[in-house]
């Protein structure tokens, strides 16, 4: 029984020792020691440091310039379309109206227009220039004045002649039969004196 009495006394002593050590560790490390609170004073700043603080950083300057420029010159980046187009000697200018539901040229790219550009560049080189979905040209050549869904129309700008209309034919010029496309290219070469 004497052994049992020692164990009952040791347990509360160990608990008391643990609490005392924990409290001592908190005050030693700087936890909750009662100190008199001091008033927070602003740091002393020299004249040179104050001047540097008033200056804007490069990032802030750039943001201010962009904000100032935004209202005045946002439309400056838009290309001014000159119409009617000046057509140089020996060059044929074609206008392509295409439906933009399949992608806007050049990014992400309308496959029909990309293939048309590629083929004409290989076949005719610098003799043919192509304008696509130009607002003034659409106003002049398209019955609606804007691009139409499912359209692919090629117009000779100089001669003001419709050379191909997917809406009239119902057949894709580029994605259809390759023989038909080659025959059409031969006819365009004759009509526009590109041979």
Residue 72 clears pLDDT 60, i.e. is over it: no
Mean pLDDT for the chain? 78
Q: What is the pLDDT of residues 153-181, one digit of tens each?
A: 999 988 888 999 888 888 888 887 889 88
At residue 104, the pLDDT reads: 66
Query: pTM score, two decimals?
Result: 0.56
Query: Per the domain annotation, does 87 fall within a domain?
Result: no
Query: Per the domain annotation, does 120 fall within a domain?
Result: yes
Long-range Cβ pairs for the range 162-166 (8 Å, 24+): 163/94, 163/188, 163/191
Q: Under 8 Å CB-to-CB from 64, ≥6 apart: which residues?
A: 56
Query: Per the domain annotation, does 74 fall within a domain?
Result: no
Q: What is the pLDDT of residues 5-28, one digit of tens each?
A: 556 777 787 888 788 777 766 555
Domain containing residue 108: CATH number: 3.40.30.10
Query: Per the domain annotation, does 25 fall within a domain?
Result: no
Domain residues for the domain of 153 are 92-191
Query: Per the domain annotation, does 15 fall within a domain?
Result: no
Q: State yes or no: cis peptide before 174, omega within 30 of 0.
A: no
At residue 5, the pLDDT reads: 57
């Amino acid at each position: 029984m004497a052994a049992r009495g020692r164990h009952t006394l040791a347990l509360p002593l160990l608990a008391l020792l643990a609490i005392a050590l924990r409290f001592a560790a908190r005050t030693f490390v700087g936890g909750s020691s009662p100190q008199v609170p001091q008033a927070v004073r602003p740091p002393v700043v020299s004249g040179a440091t104050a001047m540097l603080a008033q200056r804007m950083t490069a990032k802030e300057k750039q943001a201010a310039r962009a904000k100032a420029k935004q209202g005045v010159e946002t439309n400056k980046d838009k290309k001014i379309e000159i119409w009617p187009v000046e057509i140089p000697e020996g060059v044929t200018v074609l206008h392509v109206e295409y439906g933009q539901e399949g992608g806007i040229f050049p990014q992400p790219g309308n496959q029909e227009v990309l293939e048309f550009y590629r083929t004409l560049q290989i076949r005719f080189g610098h003799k043919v220039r192509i304008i696509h979905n130009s607002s003034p040209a659409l106003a002049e050549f398209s019955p609606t004045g804007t691009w139409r869904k499912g359209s692919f129309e090629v117009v000779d700008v100089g001669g003001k002649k419709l050379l191909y209309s997917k809406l009239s034919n119902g057949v894709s010029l580029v994605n259809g039969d390759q023989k038909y496309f080659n025959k059409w290219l031969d006819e365009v070469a004759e009509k526009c004196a590109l041979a």
